[in-house]
Amino acid sequence: MRRTKIICTLGPSSAEYGILLEIVRAGMDVARINFSHGDPAFYHHAVRLVRRVSQELKKPVAILADLQGIKIRIGEVEQGAVELEKGSSVVVLPGEGVTTAQKLYIRYEPLLEDLKVGDDILLDDGLIKLKVQEKFADRLHATVLEGGVLRSRKGVHFPRTNTSARTFTEKDQRDLEMAVHLGVDYVALSFVRDGEDIARVRSWARERGFRLPPLIAKIERKEALHAAEEIAQEADGLMVARGDLGVEAPIEMVPVYQKMLVKLAKERGKIAIIATQMLESMRESSSPTRAEVTDIANAVLDGADALMLSAETAIGKYPVLATQMMHTVVEATERHLASRIPSFYRPRGILPEAIVFGALQTACNVNARALVVFTHSGFTALVLSSFRPGMPILALTPEEETAHQLALVWGVLPEVLDVPEEAESITLLRRAEEILLGRKLARPGDPVVFVASSPFLGYRNLIRLHRLGEPFTEEGIPPGTPAPEPTG
The catalytic position among 2, 3, 5, 32 is 32
In what helix (H) or strand (E) does residue 170 lie, and over which residues does it extend? helix 170-182
Q: Measuring CA to CA, which residue among 419, 449, 416, 443 is closest to residue 431?
A: 419
Strands 186-189 and 128-135: unpaired
Q: Please report which residue ranges of 217-287 form alpha helices under DSSP H.
A: 222-226, 228-234, 242-248, 254-267
Angle at 34 between CA 32 and CA 38, to 5 degrees: 130
Give 100's contacts (C-beta < 8 A, 6+ positions apart).
77, 78, 82
The catalytic position among 276, 313, 323, 397 is 276
Q: Measuring CA to CA, which residue among 162, 167, 159 is closest to residue 223?
A: 162
* Cβ neighbourhood burial of 284 (10 Å; 0-12, 13-18, 19+): exposed
CA dihedral 260, 262, 263, 269 (to 10 degrees): 150
Residues in the chain: 488
At residue 260, the 3 state secondary structure works out as helix
Distance from C-alpha of 308 to C-alpha of 28, rounded to nearest angstrom: 10
The catalytic position among 73, 116, 348, 467 is 73
Give 308's contacts (C-beta < 8 A, 6+ positions apart).
6, 7, 8, 9, 32, 239, 273, 274, 275, 276, 278
Residue 198 CA from chain centroid, whole number: 15
Residue 32 is a catalytic residue: yes
The catalytic position among 2, 218, 222, 268 is 218
Distance from C-alpha of 355 to C-alpha of 372, rounded to nearest angstrom: 13
Write b or e for each residue in 336-375: b if 16 or more Cβ atoms lie within 10 A of its Cβ, otherwise e: eeeeebeebbeeeeeebbebbeebbebbeeeebbbbbbbb
Residue 276 is a catalytic residue: yes
Give 351's contacts (C-beta < 8 A, 6+ positions apart).
453, 461
Q: Are 393 and 381 in contact (CB under 8 A)?
A: yes
Q: Which residues are catalytic?
A: 32, 73, 218, 276
